[in-house]
Amino acid sequence: MGKRIGFIGLGIMGRPMAVNLLKAGHALTVHNRSKASVQELVAAGAVDGRSPGGVAERSEVVITMLPDSPDVERVALGPDGILEGAKSGTILIDMSTISPQVSQKVAAEAARKGVEMLDAPVSGGDVGAKQGTLSIMVGGKQEVFDRCLDIFQAMGKNIVRVGEIGAGGAVKLANQVIVAGTIQAVAEGLVLGAKAGVDPELMVKAVSGGLARCGILEVRAPRVLDGIFDPGFMVKLHLKDLGLALTAGKALDVPLPMTAYVNEMFKALVAQGKGDRDHSSLIQVVEQMAGVEVRKKT
């Protein structure tokens, strides 16, 4: 039997995740700043909660998928927020990528009202969100995780409880560091080959069969070769995530030199007005530096 689930944040990732919850048979109440997404979900069978508090009033479990730490604090703790509408026993699952310390702060406030919390950020981009194949890294109590496993299974395939509250966010920041470095490496490799006169499609085919194979080559490279940079994950959001990772590195005395470099590359894209484009557009900065474009031959 499906659960009564609230979903707040129907962006590039949140909208398809919510759709998959509906497909799994859960009763869904939604809220989003942009009403077009709400109307789309209502047409598919969801209910408009009208506010975070309104969503919480109708739900056993409330999921948030929001851009940044201040957004989660405002939606959870602010006026007409989730905690105003939630009852004792409600579960809050934040699937945003935010500061682990903010997750712990919100969880502590939630506990005062008898609300349990999991931080459960995801990886897999818009493709994984649409296909229901996201990797979900979860922090929180084991028993709460167990109660929510069927919810996670409607949205993802690789679901791992990595520790207590805040651990999910810490693992997601590590994930974002690895993804950013891989995007940079793929960009440099493709530009190097293109400058040498190699057909980019053949180059991708060749290296994808060896140790260099990776999700970035598989999912992003074909779109890069077609010159398509519509966002699966926005540059400005990845820049935000790297800022969180660098802050964590400083606090933990962990040097992150590659992360700092790629952070500056993403800053360059934002300065060029490309913050809303896909993070794979980082290759355009490398192309500008090398004076060559990596595109499929026609």
Q: Which residues pair with 27 in a beta bridge?
A: 4
Burial class (CB in 10 A: 0-12, 13-18, 19+), 251: exposed
Q: Is 195 annotated in the active site?
A: no
Number of CB atoms found within 10 A of residue 150's CB:
14
Number of CB atoms found within 10 A of residue 248's CB:
19
Q: What are phi and psi of 66, to 5 degrees?
A: -125, 165
Question: What is the C-alpha separation between 100 and 98, in angstroms, rounded?
Answer: 6
Residue in 130, 172, 240, 274 annotated catalytic: 172
Cα–Cα distances in Å, from 266 out to 30, 118, 220, 274, 282?
32, 30, 16, 9, 7
Task: List the one residue out of 91, 80, 211 whose CA is nearest residue 145.
Answer: 91
Question: What is the C-alpha separation between 190 and 225, in angstroms, rounded?
Answer: 10
Question: What is the C-alpha separation between 144 and 283, in angstroms, rounded?
Answer: 41
Question: What is the C-alpha separation between 80 and 193, in angstroms, rounded?
Answer: 55
First-to-last alpha carbon distance for the chain, in angstroms, is 52
Question: What is the C-alpha separation between 288 and 184, in angstroms, rounded?
Answer: 14
Residue recorded with tokens 């008898």: 114
| Active centre residues (catalytic) | 172
